[in-house]
Amino acid sequence: MTNGTEWVAVDWGTSNLRAWGIAADGSVSFAKSSADGMGKLTPDRFGAVLEQLLAPDLPDNAEAMDTLICGMAGARQGWVEAPYLEAPADLGGLAYGAVRPPRASALLAPRILPGVCQKRPGVEDVMRGEETQLLGLGALLPGFSGVTILPGTHSKWAYLSGRRVEQFATAMTGELYELLKTHSVLRLSLGDDDKDEDGRRAGTSTGLALGIDSPQRLASLLFKVRAGALLSGRSPTWSAGFLSGLLIGAEIGGHRDWIAAGQEEIPLIGGATLSAIYAEGLAMIGARGRPVEAAEATLAGLKLARSLG
């Protein structure tokens, strides 16, 4: 099959794998995804998994296809370790730090982009995948500098000067939500009734306001989920919204000093639902969020990394 694919862009995270065929004009020739995230694979399996996913869509009789990969595939427990760039870091140089894993097959010539780390004691931090989205942001919003938020399991706050990441921090907001919802005493008060969307939204707004106002009290405010259900008859759906809002509010409130007064818009790179909650929280402190679809940023970043590399 011939379809004009010139190279393949891959986002290989902990839980999922997504791939796009890219034609010479930059358009997407095919898109594939699978649940074979890095977390489910041993190093020897990455090559075969990728080949199996891509083979049906690759041109016949071609040379091994250039395949540029970002994300957790480059972690120590991934396919092959792609050592971190250290922040402050020029993201224009991502492709220079790429590592070639042991050859997957005659079909593919994969390269894995590095993550970015921050080594100063007390602010140690790491990212893998988000650096590519941050590079892509520069293509989507030319000339952008300032703070950017990437909401998610491990939310990132990054300060960009053009293509340079000056500093960043990871908040475990999404993972805390899942842990508390699944394993803590709060699970007794939580639910997911999609018929009560209004209740959920009301809970989220209340939680956002409280978290933003008192982020230093997070471990105490969390218990209000339980106490509110016991004493005030809060519904499971309201409580789930409240918990989510509280955690996100505390993240925003705790990083308030990252937001410069002069910044017009704060890009929110993530899914639409989550970004909307962050935007609501930012509005409460007089800031404006600008949602950017995560996959769009990733793809823009992989394209830019390849053209600069």
15 binds a copy of itself (CB under 8 A): no
251 binds a copy of itself (CB under 8 A): yes
Nearer to a copy of itself, 2 or 220 (CB): 220
From the CB of 150, what's the least distance to a copy of itself, in Å? 13
Query: Residue 195 burial by CB count (10 A; 0-12/13-18/19+): exposed, middle or buried?
Result: exposed
Asked if 135 contacts 92 with a C-beta cutoff of 8 angstroms, the reply is: yes
Q: How many residues sit close enough to a copy of itself to count as binding (CB under 8 A)?
A: 48
Q: Is residue 291 reached through a cis peptide bond, with omega within 30 degrees of 0 on the bond before it?
A: no
Asked if 307 contacts 282 with a C-beta cutoff of 8 angstroms, the reply is: no
From the CB of 63, what's the least distance to a copy of itself, in Å? 36
From the CB of 155, what's the least distance to a copy of itself, in Å? 8
Question: Under rule CB under 8 A, which residues in 119-138 are in contact with a copy of itself?
Answer: 119, 121-126
Nearer to a copy of itself, 104 or 259 (CB): 259
Nearer to a copy of itself, 60 or 257 (CB): 257
Single out the residue of 247, 289, 245 nearest to residue 267, CA to CA. 289
Neighbours of 160 (CB within 10 A): 21
Find residue 5's DSSP bridge partners.
Answer: 23
Single out the residue of 3, 6, 8, 308 nearest to residue 162, CA to CA. 308
Question: Under rule CB under 8 A, which residues in 130-189 are in contact with a copy of itself?
Answer: 154, 157, 169-173, 175-176, 179-180, 182-185
Task: Enumerate helices (H) and strands (E) in the chain, giving the number of each.
Answer: 9, 14
Single out the residue of 144, 129, 98 nearest to residue 263, CA to CA. 144
254 binds a copy of itself (CB under 8 A): yes
Nearer to a copy of itself, 126 or 139 (CB): 126
Residues that bind a copy of itself (CB under 8 A): 76, 117-119, 121-126, 154, 157, 169-173, 175-176, 179-180, 182-185, 210, 214-220, 222-224, 226-228, 230-232, 247, 250-251, 253-255
